[in-house]
Amino acid sequence: MALGLLSLVLYIQLFHFDAELREITLATNQGHKSYFLVPIGIAFLFSLVHGAFTDRFWDVLGVKARK
Amino acid sequence: MEAINFIDLNATTVLLLFVVGFIGGMVSGFIGSGGAFVLTPAMMSLGVPGIVAVASNMAHKFPKALVGAIKRAKFGQVDVKLGIVMGLFAEAGVFVGKEIMTTIRTAHGNVGTDFYVSIIFVVVLGIVGTIVMRDALRSRHRNGVQQGTDIPRLARWAQSINIPGTMMSFKSMKGARVSLLIVAPLGFATGLLAASIAVGGFIGVPAMMYVLGVPALMASATELVVAFVMGMGGSLFYAWEGFVDIRLAMIILAGSLFGIQIGAIGTTYVKEHMVKLVMGMIMLIVLVSRLLKLPVYLTSLGMISPLPTYIIRALDNASSAALAIALIIGAGAILISLVRGMALHQKRHATLPSATVD
């Protein structure tokens, strides 16, 4: 539950900063490399939180692997 | 240089990316790769330039691959050593592949990369899809007696080559030793393809299966390690150039992480030939989808005389329809296998004493 909420908050932030993220990438493409690691950091953060959430999600629904 | 076109996000685009991500993730968790081969063309259909589609897919793929690899390692399906070794050589392939892409973009613009990506798709899917499909049909007819234990002829030959100082043993090959000089080009080719179409697994998985003799389930699981290692490197290269649209990547990730869990769970209920069958089937349908787009790109590049607008529209629609069919068939096959497998498993549990059930 907590993981789901955290994941939701992250996605709300993603949409909130839509314009800024676009600007950062455009700036990197034009030669300003200061923030090039931002997308990679975001990818890691989202996958850890959302990955842990989705793992639990199916388990709770009873979809489990054969042992 | 031509400015990048970052698409606007609206409710339809977000929903579409999420659903495609979910199905792509499911396929990816099931066959070890291939989420992106659905996602790259799907993003391109939404108006994302080829190079941005590939770069963004890589950025969503490497963390997803990590999640999938951890999950399947728990099922005992991952050969971490082989995954890391192949992944490191794949990194070199990714670097070369990215250079090719940026060079094409500089010379011919976004349409140039669209055309290049599609050509690679058609050639690779044509060759690998046919091989996998043929093998899947053959192993189904073999009645499943020796599934997963018979080593392909090419793999027997590869394992028999002894080059002193380069030999390594891997648990997925049941202790057989193979030269690093054989593993290296396979890794390199996987990376080269990954940087070109964001799907290295189309070479990586069949290469592990047919050249190294790794069982299909382990090959598809180990590919997730390769995908993580090279995907992270590739994403860094593309992020440095400013081609990663992280907004798109994360929306896809939202759906695909739900999907990859289902796909990975599905593998524990099916036989080897089912994984191959789904893989081959999807590959061949996506091939048709990309093939239909080639005349459109050739027209844009001025390489053929312009086609009438209605033909271009018809080709666009047919291409999208083929992609949708691939997605629906792939997702359907995986879900049916999972539901059937779970039902059968529960039935066995109900009729047999718990100690005798697997």
Residues of B in Cβ contact (< 8 Å) with A25: 4, 6, 242-246
CB contact under 8 Å between B246 and A43, yes or no, is: yes
Residues of B in Cβ contact (< 8 Å) with A65: 74-75, 264-265, 268
Burial class (CB in 10 A: 0-12, 13-18, 19+), A63: middle
Q: Which stretch of B80-94, B194-208, B212-226, B277-291 has the lowest confidence by average pLDDT?
A: B194-208
pLDDT at B356 over 80: no
CA distances from B26 to B257, B262, B279 (A): 8, 6, 12
The C-alpha atoms of residue B65 and residue B73 are separated, in whole angstroms, by 12
Find which of B244, B268, B337 to mutate to test the A interface (most A CBs within 10 Å of its CB).
B244
Q: Please state the rounded mean pLDDT for residues B146-162.
A: 77
CB atoms within 10 A of CB B144: 12
Q: Which stretch of B93-102, B231-240, B313-322, B346-355 has the lowest confidence by average pLDDT?
A: B346-355
**Residue of chain A minimizing CA distance to B237:** A36
CB contact under 8 Å between A54 and B245, yes or no, is: no
Q: Which has more confidence, B35 or B328?
A: B328
Q: Given CB atoms, is B52 within the 8 Å cutoff of chain A?
A: no
Following DSSP, what letter does each residue of B28-92 receive, concatenated? HHHHSS-HHHHHHHHHHHTT--HHHHHHHHHHHHHHHHHHHHHHHHHTT---HHHHHHHHHHHHH
Residue B142 is predicted with a pLDDT of: 64
CB contact under 8 Å between B62 and A43, yes or no, is: yes
CB B26 within 8 A of CB B260: yes
Q: Which has more confidence, B48 or B34?
A: B48
To the nearest whole angstrom, how far is the Cα of B194 from the nearest Cα of chain A? 17
Q: Given CB atoms, is B239 within the 8 Å cutoff of chain A?
A: yes
Give me the residue from A29, A40, A46 closest to B253, CB to CB. A46
pLDDT at B72 over 80: yes
CA distances from A7 to A48, B56, B57 (A): 10, 20, 20
What mean pLDDT is reported for chain B? 84
Q: Given CB atoms, is A19 within the 8 Å cutoff of chain B?
A: no
Q: Given CB atoms, is A42 within the 8 Å cutoff of chain B?
A: yes
What confidence category does residue B79 fall into, taking pLDDT thresholds of 50, 70 and 90? very high
Q: Please state the rounded mean pLDDT for residues B319-327.
A: 85
Largest CA distance in chain A: 51
Q: Please state the rounded mean pLDDT for residues B58-69.
A: 82
Q: Given CB atoms, is B55 within the 8 Å cutoff of chain A?
A: no
Q: Given CB atoms, is B199 within the 8 Å cutoff of chain A?
A: no
pLDDT at B358 over 50: no
CB contact under 8 Å between A11 and B254, yes or no, is: yes
Q: Please tell me the pTM assigned to this model.
A: 0.75
Q: Please state the rounded mean pLDDT for residues B294-308.
A: 87
